[in-house]
Amino acid sequence: MTHSSSTQEIPAPGAVPRHVAIIMDGNGRWAKGRRLPRIAGHRRGVEAVRETVRACVERGVEYLTLFAFSSENWRRPADEVALLMQLFQVALASEVDKLHRNGVRLKVVGDTGRFDPAIRRLIEQGERLTAENRRLTLTVAANYGGRWDILQALSRLLAQSPAPADRVLDESALAPYLAMSYAPEPDLFIRTGGEQRISNFLLWQLAYAELYFTDTLWPDFDAAALDAAFASYRQRERRFGRTGEQTAAAKRAEVA
Ligand code: IPE
Ligand code: IPE
Ligand code: MG
């Protein structure tokens, strides 16, 4: 199933965001503050992931998307990259069964071809095992970049149906080829760790997401921090280009 774009159709409002996308930032600083190696922060970050997944399931979030490794993160020191890969592999090996028992569908988006075959195998197995689960779809963005996504979608679209010179492309032609075509666009974007930037995360899909930035470092993020983000989300008026009056009228019609 594909979902129409927020620039084409206005999604139904809800108290709980249907799709939450998070840039989990601040692991390194969390560790540094405790005079620990950066990897200790990444390890604690995995615990924050567990808690966030659990909290999202409890609150009825349908899609949770986590930025785990960006296409730019290869620039980090080789030993940190190697440890992150190892942590990803261990987390996949140890968490997938638990996710499955809890009705969570796992998806991994990004250019996974660059990963070790063992990691690629675990991704395939995890996605296959959990494919029918619908309580929550957990997407892990790994070696993901928003620009990569748009370009891979365009390349696949053109490979499917080579374009005559006069062909006009529209959004709905490209959308099915984007890496997250199975999900509606994020309603709420959260970035922990204090930076206020998108860092090449879901560029296309965040067109109308509500943006929420918190200084909380990712390893300290928990259910209460998630609720604070949701409380902020509930205060927002999502206009999607309309006036405030139109938005309020549409909301009244929804409630009636
Ligand atoms: C986010 O934490 C995790 C990854 C990018 C893999 P960081 O490692 O970026 O933590 P800071 O920003 O250095 O504190
Ligand atoms: C963004 O965090 C990527 C992930 C959380 C995976 P970074 O810490 O790498 O972002 P920048 O480079 O500071 O923007
Ligand atoms: Mg960072």
* Sign of torsion over alpha carbons 206, 65, 193, 27: negative
**How high is the pLDDT of residue 161?**
77
Q: CA–CA separation, 250 vs 244, rounded Å?
A: 10
- For residue 195, the ligand 1 atom closest to its alpha carbon is 12
Cα-atom radius of gyration of the chain, to the nearest Å? 19
Residue 170 CA to residue 154 CA, distance in Å, equals: 11
* Contact between residue 60 and residue 230 where contact means Cβ atoms under 8 Å apart: no
pLDDT digits (tens, 9 = 90+) for 219-252: 999 999 999 999 999 999 999 999 999 999 998 9
Question: Atom 11 of ligand 2 has which residue's CA nearest to it?
Answer: 199
Query: From the CA of 198, which ligand is nearest?
Result: 2
CA-proximal residue: ligand 1, atom 3 (nearest): 25
Residues marked as catalytic:
25, 73
Distance CA 81, CA 97 (A): 26
Read off the pTM.
0.97
Cα(152) to centroid of ligand 1, in Å? 26
Q: Which string of b and e fits 87-115 if b means at least 16 CB within 10 Å?
A: bbbebbeebbeebbeeebbbbbbbeeeeb
pLDDT average per 10 residues of sequence, the chain (256 residues): 83 93 98 98 98 98 98 98 98 98 98 97 98 98 98 93 76 95 98 98 98 98 98 97 96 86
Centre of ligand 2 to C-alpha 25, Å, is: 6
Question: Number of C-alpha atoms within 13 angstroms, CB side, residue 114?
Answer: 15
CA of 175 to the centre of ligand 1 (A): 30
> Two tokens at 100?
């499955």
Q: Which domains are present in the chain? A: 19-159+170-255 (3.40.1180.10)
Residue 121's pLDDT is 98
pLDDT of residue 2: 63
CB contact at 8 A, 100 and 129: yes
In this predicted model, what pLDDT tens digit does every residue of 161-199 receive, in sequence order? 777 677 788 899 999 999 999 999 999 999 999 999 999
For the CA of 24, the nearest atom of ligand 1: 1
Provide the pLDDT for residue 138. 99
The pLDDT of residue 31: 98
Which of 25, 32, 71 has most ligand 1 atoms within 8 Å of CB, for mutation? 25
